[in-house]
Amino acid sequence: MAHLPAVRAARAEHIPDDRLPAASAVQVVSLVRPEFLIEIEAFAVLPA
């Protein structure tokens, strides 16, 4: 979870404090490729 502070700083740069989305962090042994540092999952809602 060493990269978590950098992720939080980048998010804070682009998203105002009053609009922060829900977020979760899960530590895993490795991702699909060794050079990957983080995985980001996102959901979007399109207006009907």
Q: In this predicted model, what pLDDT tens digit does every residue of 1-48 receive, in sequence order?
A: 888 899 889 888 998 888 888 888 888 899 999 999 888 888 888 998
Please state the domain extents for the chain: 1-48
pLDDT at 37: 86
pLDDT at 43: 84
- Is the separation of the CB atoms in 1 and 25 below 8 Å? yes
The closest alpha carbon to 6, from 42, 44, 37, 36, belongs to 37
Q: Hey, what are 16's tokens? A: 């105002």
pLDDT at 47: 92
Q: Hey, what are 40's tokens? A: 């980001």
C-alpha 25/C-alpha 39 separation (Å) is: 10
- Is the separation of the CB atoms in 31 and 39 below 8 Å? yes
Is the pTM above the cut of 0.75?
no
